[in-house]
Amino acid sequence: MGEVLQKNFVFAFSNQGTKSTLKVPIPIPLDTTAESLAGRLIAAHNIPCYVEADLLKKLKEFLAEETEKWQDEFAEAAVKKLRSGSVSVEELARQWTKAYTKEIKQYSPPEETSDEVIFSEVYHALIHSDALETLFNLEHQYSIAVEEIIGSRNWELETTEKKHGKEMEQALQDVRLHTDEHVNILAQKHFEKSQELEVKWNKELKELQNQQKREYREWVMKVYEDSSKRLEGTPAYVQKVRALSRSSSDRSSLTQTDVGPMPPEPRLEESFTVHLGAQLKTMHNLRLLCADVLDLCRHRISNLGGLIVPQPQRLQTAMSLYSNNLCGLILLVDNRLNFYTGIKRDFARICENSTDFHFPDLESQFQHVEESVIEANKWRAERKLNEDGDRISVKSSSSGSSETQGEEKLKRMQNGDFYITKHSNLSEVHVVFHLVSDDSVKNGDISSRHPLILAIRNVLKVCSRNDVTTLTIPLLLAHEMSEEMTIPWCMKRAELVFKCVKGFMMEMATWGDSGSKTIQFLVPKELSEDMFHAFSNMLPQIFRVNNPLVIKSS
């Protein structure tokens, strides 16, 4: 908006023969009504009541005139810019065209519906039909094939490793025959061999998964077409699936004994319902959960007398994949984008255990993430430059480092950043927030301004914007117990996280999402039962659970 001007309003009237003149500066454009301004002038300047109507009339005329002048000047200013050539007609036309084509459907090129979108719609329809069971059976058949390969791979890798170990042992014992050089060469050989094996197997695995994915998708589309074509009789897909399961049944019968029903680990958990908000309260569900974080991902299959029964959680996860109720999980990782070590490797293993029929595999998702990381780091640098520019920094372009170093720098993630991957083949999770954390989190007295705590807020924000309605947060900001995590340390940390999350949840209501949320606080499996109960006592105190609405029927 243009500048607000002060214009003098002059009003003359006669009072008992004496002429009086009122002269006041009035802001143009006026942000209140003429009536209200007149009322104020009358009160402030003791204007006699018999000129009130006249004053209002004059004031209105004055305002109309001055406002029009102001508006004209404002409009002319833009025109002048164009005339003087500081903006070109072409540039403006381009901007407007962009605005119209990018933001209004009528002008934007029609968006072709991608295969992904079609597939998601078809799948969502099927999984909510009676094709659900067959879909699951099919997925299971596929996963068995994958497990088979993985089993063989692991076996071969293991045996080779053993063999190598033996050879190496021999070589070391027989020092006279084998010089250091020989040993080195042997080690090199062994390494190459295992690498080769791994590459071979992984290639095979990937091929299988790609093939499965293709088949699966084709099949889903076909079934959908069939079922929408003929609504009566036994749907074609049922027969199809039966045939499919039969053909692979001999294969699966072999492996079933190997896999066996894994006994579900007993979980320690407690649920709460809380009402948050000062006057208007929203209801949320909280759960305190003692489990291994990867148990929420790991896919367990129960085999009841030859019948494959997926876990109920898994069913839920599949049915809500394309819904507005997603489940998310915060996984704490280091700042390197790979899956070679630690929990990252374990997680990657679980992901490859079965084919993800909906989303790209972890590796390709990481590639996308990397692109975004580079974009983000560029933006960060630009912003820093802007801020420094404001402060007229003397540190001008000190970053004369080499290209490659810059590239590495651009890929670096910081404490509190997180990348997001999505999955369709995990047990209770659709979305994983990989939250980058360093050792500073082990410190006993981190504050509510710690990057990790702020990152939880950002995660909640992404959740609220993208309909992730269930989120699992590692309560202690650690997945495993370690030495420094003493009882006071744990109590302090739990209190901090509870309190901060409560604050964020209350803030969430202002982010324009009023729906109820489920937050699961996850504590490491090794946590003592006493500690767990201490947390479960603390939670209701912090979240004030004791305010239920009690209605008595009289």
Q: What is the dihedral of CA 160, 163, 165, 169, to 10 degrees?
A: -160
Using the contact rule CB under 8 A, the part of the chain among 116-124, 140-148, 338-346, 477-485 near other proteins is 116-124
Which parts of 527-546 interact with other proteins (CB under 8 A)?
Answer: 544, 546
Which parts of 9-48 interact with other proteins (CB under 8 A)?
Answer: 32-33, 35-36, 38-40, 42-44
Using the contact rule CB under 8 A, the part of the chain among 114-122, 144-152, 259-267, 338-346 near other proteins is 114-122
| Contact between 278 and other proteins per CB under 8 A | yes
CB of 68 to other proteins, least distance (A): 6
Residue in 144, 326, 343, 475 binding other proteins, rule: CB under 8 A: 326
CA distance 237 to 119: 17
CB of 360 to other proteins, least distance (A): 12
CB of 376 to other proteins, least distance (A): 5
CB of 390 to other proteins, least distance (A): 10
Using the contact rule CB under 8 A, the part of the chain among 129-137, 395-403, 471-479, 505-513 near other proteins is 505-513
Q: What are phi and psi of 283, to 5 degrees?
A: -95, 135
| Contact between 553 and other proteins per CB under 8 A | no
Q: Beta strand 301-304 with 307-310: parallel, antiparallel or unpaired?
A: antiparallel
CA distance 122 to 119: 5
CB 414 within 8 A of CB 436: yes
Of 42 and 149, CB closest to other proteins: 42
Of 251 and 368, CB closest to other proteins: 368
| Contact between 481 and other proteins per CB under 8 A | no
CB 437 within 8 A of CB 478: no
Of 133 and 467, CB closest to other proteins: 467
Of 1 and 394, CB closest to other proteins: 1
CA distance 448 to 441: 12
Site string for other proteins, 362-401 (x = CB under 8 A): ---x--xx-xxx-xx--xx--x--x---------------
Residue in 148, 334, 480, 513 binding other proteins, rule: CB under 8 A: 513
CB of 45 to other proteins, least distance (A): 11
- Report DSSP state, residue 527: S
| Contact between 116 and other proteins per CB under 8 A | yes
CA distance 153 to 209: 15
Helix (H, G, I), strand (E, B) or coil at 2: coil
| Contact between 8 and other proteins per CB under 8 A | no
| Contact between 281 and other proteins per CB under 8 A | yes
| Contact between 112 and other proteins per CB under 8 A | no
Which parts of 209-268 interact with other proteins (CB under 8 A)?
Answer: none
Q: What is the distance between the terminal CA atoms of the chain, rounded to a whole angstrom?
A: 62
- Is-cis flag, bond preceding 235, omega within 30? no
Site string for other proteins, 141-180 (x = CB under 8 A): ----------------------------------------
Report how far Cα 259 is from the mean position of its chain's Cα atoms: 33
CA distance 191 to 167: 13
Of 351 and 468, CB closest to other proteins: 468
CB of 53 to other proteins, least distance (A): 12
Of 308 and 508, CB closest to other proteins: 508
CA distance 149 to 304: 24
User: How many residues does the structure list for the chain?
Assistant: 554
Residue in 458, 489, 532, 545 binding other proteins, rule: CB under 8 A: 458
> Which residues lie closer than 8 Å to 509 by C-beta, 6 or more apart?
276, 277, 282
> Which residues lie closer than 8 Å to 93 by C-beta, 6 or more apart?
none
CA distance 548 to 107: 52
CA distances from 236 to 110, 230, 233, 256, 383 (A): 34, 9, 9, 28, 58
Helix (H, G, I), strand (E, B) or coil at 525: coil
CB 279 within 8 A of CB 290: no
| Contact between 105 and other proteins per CB under 8 A | yes
Of 62 and 144, CB closest to other proteins: 62
Please name which of 312, 311, 316 lies closest in space to residue 301, comparing C-alpha atoms. Answer: 311
| Contact between 549 and other proteins per CB under 8 A | yes
Site string for other proteins, 412-441 (x = CB under 8 A): --xxxxxxx-x-------xx----------
CA distances from 415 to 355, 438, 452, 453, 462 (A): 31, 6, 7, 11, 18
Please name which of 7, 20, 26 lies closest in space to residue 50, comparing C-alpha atoms. Answer: 20
| Contact between 191 and other proteins per CB under 8 A | no
Of 137 and 317, CB closest to other proteins: 317
Of 174 and 375, CB closest to other proteins: 375
Neighbours of 386 (CB within 10 A): 9
Supply 331's token pair.
């996984």
Which parts of 61-100 interact with other proteins (CB under 8 A)?
Answer: 64, 68, 71-76, 78-79, 81-83, 87, 89-90, 92-100
| Contact between 512 and other proteins per CB under 8 A | yes
